[in-house]
Chains A and B, each alone.
Chain A
Amino acid sequence: MNAFQYLGRNWPGVSAKIAQHLGMVGVAVAASLVVGLALGIVVSRPRLQKVGRAIIGITGAAQAVPSVAVIALMFVYTGIGPRTAVIALSIYGVVPILFNVSSALLLVPADIREAARGMGMTPLQVLVRVELPLASQSIMAGLRTAVTIDVSTATVASVVGAGGLGDIIFIGLSVVRPDMIMAGTLLVASIAILSDVLLAFIQRSVVSRGLSIPS
């Protein structure tokens, strides 16, 4: 039996796994994005720049911590189940987003902010109309990193009983069923690639053409 036959025959079960996988990643990414963006904005305010730089240092180093370590640690606290995976992914996903948001916002030139203020923008308008658009390239890059990592780590999260497409691969590995292994592999790989392509597309449309570096 090949992977496609396997998928055809077990579609209801497989589609449930896809839904689980996407759900896990979706919730975690949304949480990471909200937290990362909010924290990044707060720590990049001029008064908190010292904190901001510290955060950049910490999150820069924290990206060297393997994602599996966070899942494992979360398992110690919350045991088996999808909750463990979602919490771990949310925490882990904050790191690249927060790193990118805070470093990009801190890089917005002070005189650009001042020009915006000088023209009569309120602080909120400066943030929304100037700072965030200028940081958008980097924010989107952080988001893409988080999504790629989450899709990948969610597969491994099957070992803490999180469900998702990892289940298919693990069962395939343990009962030596190449068709299952291939089917699972094909699906997660497609999800990973498609979501990254989709985000690349969004990135293109969100980031102003005036900011892209001609290559």
Chain B
Amino acid sequence: MIELDSVTKRYGDKTSVDRLSLTIPDNAITILLGPSGCGKTTTLKMINRLIEPTDGDIRIDGHSVYGMDPIDLRRSIGYVIQEVGLFPHFTVEGNIGVVPSLLDWDRGRIRRRAGELLELVNLDPSVYLRRYPRELSGGERQRVGVARALAADPRVLLMDEPFGAIDPINRRSLQDFFLRLQTDLKRTVVFVTHDIGEAVKLGDHIAIMRDGRLVQMDVTRALLEHPADAFVEELLGATRSTEQLLLYRAAHYVDTAFTVMTTEEMHRSGVEAEAPLIILKDGDDISGYVEKGLLVTCEDPQEAVCRFETVSGNATLLEAVTTLLESGRKRAVVQGPDGTILGTLSVPMVAEIMAKVAR
């Protein structure tokens, strides 16, 4: 646990961080979010003492960082910064080995550790260990940057817009990758960004700052649903409802009014107009569905059978909507991991859900 206790940083008569008190929980990602110049970087750098505060205290697990040697403190904390970070004159191995070598590990151990970490970040050690940063793509550099921060197995990671300089597609895949990594590693991460999408996607908790002060800190979903004031609401802004689509799992919002029958049963039974949506399932094979009320208007029942998309129950609402919009189909059938039919989703239904949470 990292506690910031009424921390203040002043430059001359400009107050960059103003009596900031914040508790950063263990083993989770806490996002510092806010407009440019609100003091996010300053706050982060005070945690590893690259900047000394004017006032206040910072404690890690109850011990004040001001009681520690700053050099030792920094070696025990992983630090990832935007873009540069990597030392151009070191190979990938040299870069990952910086902190271990400062801690006097022997060469064999450093090499093994570098190989291990490269595998962890999905880069083949036999290819990448001997490369120099200029021989890497932007995304590969960021992965190496993350690997380097993890080198000495720090419990705390400080990340200052680590994916900021990357194109949107690569940023997305780095975020996914980092999330998977964190699921295994469970580090205490303080992550600075001013990209709201990134914050919502990665953050277990989000702390919103403005003019050096804390405006609101909460669990991500709670913060989205209950913005503390107009500023937060505006900051979350138009992206808010779309971002929520990212958070909500399809399984929880499906339309459960449906019946399942085989094609043969349908032909035989002659369905009534009032019957709910019918999903046609022959064995394991779902062949289509019939909208409520459609059948009565059809001469040949088979013509009323609509094709559809399938979506996993673990998918987010955003993925479900995207799938539907891209395919042009009206409905998606949502299935559980074992293939059971959980229900269906349509674009108008999602719009309704969004309208509800936006209230």
B102 interface hit (Cβ, 8 Å) = yes
B87 interface hit (Cβ, 8 Å) = yes
Interface 1/0s, chain A 105-144, versus B by CB < 8 A? 0000101101111111110010000100110100000000
B88 interface hit (Cβ, 8 Å) = yes
The interface residues of chain A lying within 8 Å CB-to-CB of B39 are: none
Q: How large is the interface on B (under 10, 10 to 19, 20 to 34, 35 or more residues)?
A: 20 to 34
Which of B67-75, B272-280, B301-309 sits within the interface? B67-75
CA distance A160 to B71 in the complex (A): 54
Interface 1/0s, chain A 16-56, versus B by CB < 8 A? 00000000000000000000000000000000000000000
Q: State whether A117 touches B81 (Cβ < 8 A).
A: no
Q: State whether B81 touches A208 (Cβ < 8 A).
A: no
Task: Looking at the assembled complex, report how far the CB atom of A125 sits from the nearest CB atom of chain B, in whole angstroms.
Answer: 7
Q: State whether B102 touches A121 (Cβ < 8 A).
A: yes
B85 interface hit (Cβ, 8 Å) = yes
Q: Indicate the member of A117, A120, A209 with the most B CB atoms within 10 Å.
A: A120
CB contact under 8 A between A210 and B88, given known A114-B50, A120-B99: yes
CB contact under 8 A between A210 and B75, given known A117-B50, A119-B99: no
Task: Looking at the assembled complex, report how far the CB atom of A46 sits from the nearest CB atom of chain B, in whole angstroms.
Answer: 13
The interface residues of chain B lying within 8 Å CB-to-CB of A136 are: 89
Q: State whether A120 touches B71 (Cβ < 8 A).
A: yes
Q: State whether A210 touches B91 (Cβ < 8 A).
A: yes
Q: State whether B88 touches A122 (Cβ < 8 A).
A: no
A202 interface hit (Cβ, 8 Å) = no
A194 interface hit (Cβ, 8 Å) = no
The interface residues of chain A lying within 8 Å CB-to-CB of B71 are: 120-122
Q: Indicate the member of A115, A133, A209 with the most B CB atoms within 10 Å.
A: A115
A211 interface hit (Cβ, 8 Å) = yes
Interface residue ranges of B95-146 to A (CB < 8 Å): 98-99, 102, 132-135
CA distance A208 to B91 in the complex (A): 9
B90 interface hit (Cβ, 8 Å) = yes
Q: State whether A210 touches B90 (Cβ < 8 A).
A: yes
B344 interface hit (Cβ, 8 Å) = no
CA distance A21 to B132 in the complex (A): 41
CA distance A9 to B76 in the complex (A): 70
B84 interface hit (Cβ, 8 Å) = yes
B79 interface hit (Cβ, 8 Å) = yes
The interface residues of chain A lying within 8 Å CB-to-CB of B91 are: 210
Q: State whether A118 touches B132 (Cβ < 8 A).
A: no
CA distance A118 to B75 in the complex (A): 8
CA distance A211 to B89 in the complex (A): 6
Interface 1/0s, chain A 181-215, versus B by CB < 8 A? 00000000000000000000000000011110000
CA distance A130 to B101 in the complex (A): 14
Q: Which residue on B lies nearest to A111, using beta carbons?
A: B84
Interface 1/0s, chain A 81-122, versus B by CB < 8 A? 000000000000000000000000000010110111111111
The interface residues of chain B lying within 8 Å CB-to-CB of A109 are: 84
The interface residues of chain A lying within 8 Å CB-to-CB of B72 are: 120
Q: State whether A117 touches B74 (Cβ < 8 A).
A: yes
Q: State whether B133 touches A119 (Cβ < 8 A).
A: no
Q: State whether A118 touches B87 (Cβ < 8 A).
A: no
Q: State whether A208 touches B98 (Cβ < 8 A).
A: no
Contact of B81 among A111, A125, A209, A210 (CB under 8 A): A111
The interface residues of chain B lying within 8 Å CB-to-CB of A134 are: 87-89
The interface residues of chain A lying within 8 Å CB-to-CB of B98 are: 116, 119, 121
Q: Which residue on B lies nearest to A117, using beta carbons?
A: B50
The interface residues of chain B lying within 8 Å CB-to-CB of A211 are: 88-89
Task: Looking at the assembled complex, report how far the CB atom of B41 sits from the nearest CB atom of chain A, in whole angstroms.
Answer: 10
The interface residues of chain B lying within 8 Å CB-to-CB of A120 are: 71-76, 99, 102
Q: Which residue on A lies nearest to B98, using beta carbons?
A: A119
Q: State whether A112 touches B87 (Cβ < 8 A).
A: yes
B48 interface hit (Cβ, 8 Å) = yes
The interface residues of chain A lying within 8 Å CB-to-CB of B79 are: 115, 118-119
The interface residues of chain B lying within 8 Å CB-to-CB of A114 are: 50, 81
Q: State whether B102 touches A130 (Cβ < 8 A).
A: no
Q: Which residue on B lies nearest to A210, using beta carbons?
A: B132
CA distance A91 to B85 in the complex (A): 38
| 7 cross-chain pairs, A with B, having the tightest CB-CB distances, nearest first | A210-B132, A120-B75, A120-B74, A208-B89, A118-B79, A133-B89, A111-B84
Spell out A's residues near B (CB within 8 Å).
109, 111-112, 114-122, 125, 130, 133-134, 136, 208-211
Contacts A115-B79, A121-B71, A210-B90 aside, 13 further interface pairs with beta carbons under 8 A come to A109-B84, A111-B81, A111-B84, A114-B50, A115-B84, A115-B85, A117-B74, A118-B48, A120-B102, A136-B89, A210-B132, A210-B134, A211-B89
Spell out B's residues near A (CB within 8 Å).
45, 48, 50, 71-76, 79, 81, 84-85, 87-91, 98-99, 102, 132-135
22 A-B pairs, CB-CB below 8 angstroms? Answer: A112-B87, A114-B81, A118-B45, A118-B50, A119-B74, A119-B98, A120-B72, A120-B74, A120-B76, A121-B71, A121-B98, A121-B102, A122-B71, A133-B89, A136-B89, A208-B132, A209-B132, A210-B89, A210-B132, A210-B134, A210-B135, A211-B88
